[in-house]
Chain A
């Protein structure tokens, strides 16, 4: 991991929520931190280009906007990459991870509504040829305030 400057650390840790809803949010952040607007903007751009930031945007509560679920499949190791590729072809899939378990492929499926979600799950199952475990959210116990990064 590369070293992050104090400004980068502040931008990564303090702005996981509450990006200003003003016409010039980077200028507002800059003023708060005592730096130039262009410095904030260029630093965010660089962090995004490097892939440290996936985006600056909204994180939604599951199922408040559209419908979503967590799905899992048990795939033979030799097939895992090709099945993961097939799963990724679906625009409804937005996270897809290998995990250490007999159910070794885990992905999040999001659609406009329940009907489209069910259709997408059926299509994914048919395309991949493995039974899919559909594990929709029933209750959320955690309010996401962002992740407190420890720099030491």
Chain B
């Protein structure tokens, strides 16, 4: 097996499935044609990415706003470092939370180290959900802010500067 070709193929495959499957009857065969490889290589490649844990999921990516979830909030918390993992896991358990990440503080401008995302029908619903998290986990005294989203200037899957058609076999 040609290692370099394998690496390039994997990279091109990652870029392609990040953009989305072609909505054709045989989407993997269509992708294979774009990438200059075989259908089985595409399917096995995706399976391999999934098995090594690179994929969170492989499926339909919805636009929440179009589905009536108009309020999107990033909620940021200033959690003591010793408790951030415990609280992070606990926040991630709430069914309405769609992401929960630890990120660095940037003092003095940015004191928050835990981020979670909530999609709700409206602002009141989201505010109530944040209150519910705070109440259930005893975080009422923890400094936190709700950053509702306004305009969406861009939303798409990952793109890479390196062109996907760099494969020439």
Contacts and interface: CB of A to CB of B under 8 A. Distances in A.
Contacts of B28: 21, 23, 25
Nearest to B95: A148
Residue from B60, B62, B145, B159 whose CB has the most chain A CB atoms within 10 Å: B60
Nearest to B68: A1
A78 interface: no
Contacts of A84: 151, 153-154
B18 A58 contact: yes
Interface residues of B, number: 73
B61 A59 contact: yes
A112 B19 contact: no
Given A133-B106, A145-B57, A101 B145 contact: yes
B74 interface: yes
B75 to A, nearest CB: 11
B27 to A, nearest CB: 7
Contacts of B56: 59-61, 143-144
Interface residues of A, number: 80
A140 B23 contact: no
A68 B77 CA distance: 21
Contacts of B162: 112
A61 B64 CA distance: 20
- In order of increasing CB-CB distance, the 10 nearest A-B pairs are A55-B20, A98-B150, A141-B88, A142-B92, A57-B20, A17-B57, A96-B154, A139-B102, A96-B153, A1-B68
Interface of B: 11, 14, 17-21, 23, 25-29, 39, 43, 46-47, 49, 53-64, 66-68, 72, 74, 84-85, 88-89, 91-92, 95, 97-104, 106, 109-110, 115-116, 119, 145, 147-162
